[in-house]
């Protein structure tokens, strides 16, 4: 059995392989507590700034989504209502000027009622952010116009809207329904005479 005090002495002076004594092993020195605290504070500050930036981005995104939902949430309903507006517009367009002038009081009252209803419907749509546009004479833009046909025209330059078949509608800055249009193309000149005498 070995003496514990003798064993402690052996640990205190360790020898290398060649028998030379070495200094006792010191325990690792703890890092500077102030430097460690500063490093941790910098990490927490970085986390805080990142979290604040994420929260600000989330707030902005949520605000934008709420605005879009408020503005564009009625888009499907508005599309359905546009069919009613189109039918009212066609009905009023089918009434000739002679019927408007020569019709009896009941017919005139009916026409006025339909016109008033159409105006109120358009006001309600505009109040909800839906507005009609009629691009007559404008340059054809496939983002907001739907070309139905090409027609020869001398009134408007080629590539411009020569005729609006059905008005388009916007909701906010988005197209709710494109305008159906006829696009102008260059008018053909007289046929060239190939037989020159």
For the segment 24-59, what is each residue's pLDDT rounded down to a tens digit? Answer: 555 555 568 899 999 999 999 999 999 999 999 999
Average pLDDT over residues 167-184: 93
Residue with more model confidence, 162 or 19: 162
pTM of the model: 0.61
Q: Which residues contact 10 (CB under 8 A, 6 or more apart)?
A: none
pLDDT at residue 13, rounded to an integer: 47
Query: What contacts 89, CB < 8 A, 6 or more positions away?
Result: 118
Q: What is the pLDDT of residue 12?
A: 46
Q: What does the pLDDT look like over 108-137, one tens digit per residue? A: 888 899 999 999 999 999 998 899 999 999
Please report, for the chain, the start and end positions of each structural domain, with discontinuous segments joined by +.
Answer: 33-72, 76-128, 129-188
The alpha carbon torsion through 50, 52, 57, 62 (nearest 10 deg) reads: 140
CATH code of the domain made up of 129-188: 2.30.22.10
């Amino acid at each position: 059995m070995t003496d514990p005090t003798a064993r402690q002495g052996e640990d205190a002076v360790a020898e290398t392989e060649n028998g030379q004594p070495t200094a006792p092993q010191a325990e690792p020195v703890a890092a500077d507590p102030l430097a460690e605290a500063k490093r941790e504070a910098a990490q927490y500050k970085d986390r805080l700034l990142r979290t604040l930036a994420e929260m600000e981005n989330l707030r902005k995104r949520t605000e934008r989504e709420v605005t879009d939902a408020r503005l564009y949430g009625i888009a499907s309903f508005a599309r359905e209502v546009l069919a009613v507006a189109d039918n009212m517009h066609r009905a009023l367009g089918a009434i000739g000027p002679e019927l408007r002038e020569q019709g009896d009081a009941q017919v005139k009252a009916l026409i006025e009622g339909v016109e008033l209803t159409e105006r109120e419907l358009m006001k309600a749509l505009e109040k909800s952010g839906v507005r009609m546009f009629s691009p007559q004479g404008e340059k054809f833009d496939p983002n907001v116009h739907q070309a139905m046909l090409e027609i020869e025209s001398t009134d408007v330059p080629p590539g411009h809207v020569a005729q609006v078949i059905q008005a388009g509608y916007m909701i906010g800055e988005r197209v709710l329904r494109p305008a159906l249009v006829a696009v102008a193309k260059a008018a053909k000149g007289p046929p060239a005479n190939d037989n020159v005498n």
